[in-house]
Amino acid sequence: MKIGVTSDIHTDISPANRQIAKHLADEARDAELDVLIICGDISPDIMTFSNTMGAFHDIGQQCRKLFVAGNHDIWLIGLNNEITSHDKYSLITAICAEHGFHHLGDSPAVHGEVGFCGTIGWYDYSYKREKYPILERSYMRKTLAGSVWNDVNYARWDGTDPEIAHRFERELQEQIDSVRDRVSQIIVATHHVPFRECVAYRDELPWDFFSAFMGSVGLGEICLNEPLVTHALFGHTHSEFFQTVDGVWAVCSPVGYLTKPPKDLREYAQSRLRIIEI
């Protein structure tokens, strides 16, 4: 089985980000993938999100298309205060279906003997650096000395960050439990980072403060505690990873912010579509 993985297309950021979706789709079609997985962060704008998903329409009927939402996707910019990020998470499921994608955040998928389970994930500050004497309320407010993590402005859940993180962890575990007896292998896809080993600390602030919002230890524990899980695919960090963590492959192949576009966008798209063969 040939699986293509990418994330963090951020179509709303720059002209190059808007253009790269077509190149990624071309690469996916030419690679004759069996499965394409996009690990979140396309755009907070619903129409831009939908149009980007539509760019992958013609990558081949044999290709199963899977998606997990990212934190930017559930942002509520320009939407009324009665709508929550949970509401938008459900809307993403419907938009995905319109374009032939299956939203793993809604339910798992089985392709052959492989189960695909996924969630946006969230953060519970378990990746924070204990070396810094930063108060818990600073993490709750997502603000440090004027630097702001924008989820505080645009994401709206019905609970605290740890409560939301643990809710999505439970949903991921429930998905794994539901497919375990039907498959020989499980691949997990999240947006937030599942392993501390994949968090890029710099020993400086505010960078390391923001590392607290990368994901949760619990996501990785779920992967490591399930013998059938062989791969944990994710996005969010904008850093490429392809390494094993205690026997599980951790894979991240993000596009990122292309405010300084690469010389050859097609070549860059090729490098951002990580292909895994199992």
13, 19, 20, 22: CA torsion to nearest 10: 140
Residue 165 counted as domain residue? no
Residue 59 counted as domain residue? yes
Cβ atoms of 265 and 217 within 8 Å: the answer is no
Residue 150 counted as domain residue? no
Residue 147 counted as domain residue? no
> How many domains would you assign to the chain?
1
Cβ atoms of 45 and 77 within 8 Å: the answer is yes
Q: What is the pLDDT of residues 227-253, one digit of tens each?
A: 999 999 999 999 999 999 999 999 999
Given this model, what pLDDT does residue 126 score? Answer: 98
Confidence of residue 80 (pLDDT cuts 50, 70, 90): confident
Q: Which two tokens stand for residue 20?
A: 């790269």
The helix (run of H) or strand (run of E) holding residue 48 is helix 46-54
Average predicted confidence (pLDDT) for the chain: 97
CATH of residue 234's domain is 3.60.21.10
The amino acid sitting at 109 is A
Given this model, what pLDDT does residue 79 score? Answer: 79
Q: What is the pLDDT of residues 141-178, one digit of tens each?
A: 999 999 999 999 999 999 999 999 999 999 999 999 99
Residue 64: count of CB within 10 angstroms of its CB: 20
DSSP secondary structure letter of residue 7:
B
Residue 258 counted as domain residue? yes
Block residue for tokens 């108060």: 135
Residue 103 counted as domain residue? yes
Q: Considering the entire predicted model, what is its pTM?
A: 0.97
**What does the pLDDT average to over 262-271?**
96
Residue 156 counted as domain residue? no
Measured between alpha carbons, how far is 31 from 240 in angstroms, rounded to an integer?
20
DSSP secondary structure letter of residue 130:
T
Given this model, what pLDDT does residue 277 score? Answer: 97
Write out the residue range of the structural domain in which residue 73 sits.
Answer: 2-120+176-195+216-277
Which neighbouring-strand residues pair with 67? 38, 103
* Beta-carbon contacts of residue 105 (< 8 Å; ≥ 6 apart): 67, 68, 69, 89, 92, 93, 118, 119, 120
The helix (run of H) or strand (run of E) holding residue 244 is strand 241-245
Residue 233 counted as domain residue? yes
DSSP secondary structure letter of residue 205:
T
**What does the pLDDT average to over 90-97?**
97
